[in-house]
A and B are shown apart, each in its own frame.
Chain A
Amino acid sequence: MKIAVPRMGSLPLIIRDLANRFGLEYIETPSFSERTVEIGAALAPEFACFPLKAVLGSFVQVLEAGADTLVMGGGHGPCRFGSYGEVQKRILEREGYSFKMLILDSPSTSLKDFHEGLRSILPRQHVRLPVLLRELLRVLSKVVVFDEVEKWALALRGLEAEPGAVDSALEDSREIIGRAFSSKEIKEARREAQSRFDGVPLDRERAHLKVGLVGEIFIVLEPYFNFDIESWLGKRGAVVERSVSISDTVYPGGRNPVFGYNDRIVARAAAPYLSHEVGGDGLRTVGATTIYARRGFDVVVHLLPFTCMPEVIAKGVLARMSSELDIPVLSLSIDEQTGRAGVQTRLEALLDLAWNRRRKGRTAGTAAAGEEGGWKVEDKTFRAAQ
């Protein structure tokens, strides 16, 4: 049995770790390319949102590479993601591929189904639930660390004294963390990664912009689709914070350890503008924008796949927030037609606007991340104001 899982941001690293733990045989899904998108767009329903198409394309590629079991997330709406698995399965079957599709719901929906689903793909069928949970918790803590180093990299890239120093620290850290296995080793790896980031030479005096990155998780996390917006912004001296990460999505209880604001705070921040859950990352987009605006960020960039239902609502609401909170918000909707130059031109214009506002004193500019606490991206001002 050869398993394949769609890719998104650092998900391949996590899958590799899971495969090592349970002795899974898996095929790494090829990284996204023009070909992937072409295949996906040709097969998928016309108005389906972009992640469905992209993941479908990569499923075709990985099935051709020899995978026979596809694993996909499930859900109970209202976001279309909950139906992805079923639609993709039907399309691939129609195209004549033979495979098994496992649609895994979140363990909080039904622990039993989750356990049974996982057991059906594990080579050792006898894995007991407690053992499985222990291992999964370890993976979870590892995911958090993976996301934390990304957060540090986002905060420091705009301040690095040598170009590429942050990226190499990030690469090293990922490798260090990838090797960790037990919870003790994971903690150790996090410390090592910290010291690796401590060693990055910083230019603390440099004028920089503070940019919030919000939006739909797939587009925000996958560099191929957002045209590597994180490094692009970093190179232009922007300190970036983003609202979504894999660990926040899978972490139980809505604690959001990486984003730093739990679901309740986010919902409360969003309430004046959007007072109900709308599925997907919609509410979080609105809440995070409010939080970033109150913390004095210069601009917010909102990324969404074309016709994404929750994010389109957020987009409509952001237009009003932008004027009421006096913060420029750029919504970029991405699909298979989007061109790199178009996105970058608009981002350049946005950064120019932000510098202009800074010169005219409309935004004070916030303290650079890490000025107080080393590389740490801790900012309690918002919570204190609550």
Chain B
Amino acid sequence: MRVGIPRALLYHHYGERWLAFLDALGVEAVVSECTTDEIITTGAFRADNETCLPVKVFSGHLLWLMDRVDAVLVPRVVSQEHGTCSCPKFMGLPDLARSLDPDLPPVLAPRMDLGDRRYLWAREWYGVARSLNGSRVSSAAAVAGLLRGLSGHRAREDAGLPVGDMKIGVAGHLYNVHDHRVSLGLLDRIRSMGATPITVDEVPSRQIHKHAKTLSHRIFWGFERRLVGAVLHWSRTADVSGIIFVTSFACGPGSIVGALLEDQLYREGSVPLMTITLDEHSAEAGLVTRLEAFIDMLRHTARVSRRINALQDAGNGGGP
């Protein structure tokens, strides 16, 4: 029995846990290959034309898996944190997946509702484990392992990467930012321009919650709440020189959060903010030009302010 997991959407958040779950059951897990042009094209062609880019990419991955596996695992992630909910697309994702192609292998869609009590949804995972021919004991162990893994904090390490002269906050969904093809290698490009990118998942939760709370409106989408908290943290502590907000075409929460952030940062007088919208035919040249301009501008600003400071110091020192 081979179970496929599309390397898209929340795989970038929980992929390791899901793989560990399948591994504990002794099921062979197949993760689709890294996003390629072909996957994006198939996804954009076959998925509903109004869905956002990440869902199209997801569809591409799903179709790639179609002939290679006996079942696909598409968990229904209803919430990622207490007191929040996910984007509606995640709630309906398994149903969208089933509607994609009639020849698709069975879609296993256990619910994952991290904001809710565990026992309410953990039994769905148990059911999936049993349907994958797990024994009672090994199924229970797999589910317990999954729950343990989900409550633990996951630290990202980017050891061994070059450290640049300035930090740039990249605020965007992990499935956009960490997907090399979808983001057109955004993080690597920033690194090659001599700056260090920081993503939302590198900001400590405490800071995120502290700053998200200060916004006049309670953002109810889990990841967007984290994103806003992280951006406010970066901007208020001046931890980064500039922030790039990465959203994808037709992203619903992105449209609202982008507008809120722009306004809030404008009112607070923050570090520079640039918005980049990704779509299935984003051209690299456009992205590179904008990135170069943004980073040049940040460097220029830093230089000018350094010179002004130096002049002021000199002025103060020469006075009586």
**Which A residues form the contact surface with B (CB < 8 A)?**
44-49, 76-80, 82-83, 86-87, 90-91, 94, 273-280, 282, 306-310, 312-313, 315-317, 319-321, 333
Given A87-B259, A309-B89, residue A317 in contact with residue B252 (CB < 8 A): no
What residues of A have a CB within 8 angstroms of the CB of B147 in the complex? Answer: none
> Once the chains bind, are A273 and B259 in contact (CB under 8 Å)?
no
> Once the chains bind, are B51 and A45 in contact (CB under 8 Å)?
no
> Once the chains bind, are A307 and B221 in contact (CB under 8 Å)?
no
> Once the chains bind, are B91 and A279 in contact (CB under 8 Å)?
yes
> Once the chains bind, are B95 and A47 in contact (CB under 8 Å)?
no
> Once the chains bind, are B51 and A312 in contact (CB under 8 Å)?
yes
What residues of A have a CB within 8 angstroms of the CB of B253 in the complex? Answer: 80
> Once the chains bind, are A317 and B95 in contact (CB under 8 Å)?
yes
**Which B residues form the contact surface with A (CB < 8 A)?**
47-48, 50-52, 76, 78, 85-89, 91-92, 94-96, 98-100, 102, 111, 216-221, 247, 249-256, 258-260, 263, 266
Q: Once A and B bind, how many residue pairs between them come within 8 Å at the CB atom?
A: 121
Q: Choose one: B91, B100, B216; the contact of A78 (CB below 8 Å).
A: B91
Taking A45-B256, A47-B251, A49-B252 as given, write out 16 further A-B residue pairs in contact, using a Cβ cutoff of 8 Å, ordered by the A residue number: A45-B258, A46-B255, A47-B254, A76-B85, A77-B220, A82-B220, A90-B260, A94-B263, A277-B91, A308-B252, A309-B252, A310-B92, A312-B50, A315-B50, A316-B48, A333-B50
What residues of B have a CB within 8 angstroms of the CB of A273 in the complex? Answer: 95, 99
Question: What CA separation (Å) do A82 and B84 show in the bound complex?
Answer: 13
> Once the chains bind, are A87 and B260 in contact (CB under 8 Å)?
yes
What residues of A have a CB within 8 angstroms of the CB of B249 in the complex? Answer: 47
Say how far B59's CB is from chain A's closest CB, in angstroms: 9
What residues of A have a CB within 8 angstroms of the CB of B100 in the complex? Answer: 316
The 7 closest A-B pairs by CB, nearest first: A77-B220, A313-B92, A320-B99, A47-B255, A86-B217, A45-B259, A309-B252
What residues of B have a CB within 8 angstroms of the CB of A91 in the complex? Answer: 259, 263
Say how far A117's CB is from chain B's closest CB, in angstroms: 15
Question: What CA separation (Å) do A66 and B247 show in the bound complex?
Answer: 37
Given A80-B252, A316-B51, residue A86 in contact with residue B260 (CB < 8 A): yes
Chain A: which residue is nearest B252 at the CB level?
A309
Given A86-B260, A87-B260, A315-B48, residue A309 in contact with residue B87 (CB < 8 A): yes
> Once the chains bind, are A307 and B76 in contact (CB under 8 Å)?
no
Say how far B63's CB is from chain A's closest CB, in angstroms: 14
> Once the chains bind, are A90 and B88 in contact (CB under 8 Å)?
no
What residues of B have a CB within 8 angstroms of the CB of A319 in the complex? Answer: 48, 99
Question: What CA separation (Å) do A260 and B218 show in the bound complex?
Answer: 34
Say how far A182's CB is from chain B's closest CB, in angstroms: 39
Question: What CA separation (Å) do A316 and B101 show in the bound complex?
Answer: 11
Say how far B306's CB is from chain A's closest CB, in angstroms: 32
Say how far B283's CB is from chain A's closest CB, in angstroms: 19
What residues of B have a CB within 8 angstroms of the CB of A86 in the complex? Answer: 216-217, 260
Say how far B316's CB is from chain A's closest CB, in angstroms: 38
> Once the chains bind, are A83 and B250 in contact (CB under 8 Å)?
no
19 contacts between A and B (CB under 8 A): A44-B259, A47-B249, A47-B251, A49-B252, A77-B220, A78-B86, A80-B256, A83-B256, A86-B216, A87-B260, A273-B95, A278-B91, A282-B88, A309-B87, A312-B48, A312-B89, A316-B51, A317-B92, A317-B95
Question: What CA separation (Å) do A306 and B253 show in the bound complex?
Answer: 14
> Once the chains bind, are B88 and A79 in contact (CB under 8 Å)?
yes
Question: What CA separation (Å) do A114 and B250 show in the bound complex?
Answer: 33
Q: Choose one: B48, B87, B219; the contact of A83 (CB below 8 Å).
A: B219
Chain A: which residue is nearest B99 at the CB level?
A320
What residues of A have a CB within 8 angstroms of the CB of B216 in the complex? Answer: 86
Question: What CA separation (Å) do A321 and B99 show in the bound complex?
Answer: 8
> Once the chains bind, are A45 and B88 in contact (CB under 8 Å)?
no
Question: What CA separation (Å) do A94 and B50 show in the bound complex?
Answer: 30
What residues of A have a CB within 8 angstroms of the CB of B218 in the complex? Answer: 76
What residues of B have a CB within 8 angstroms of the CB of A317 in the complex? Answer: 92, 95-96, 99
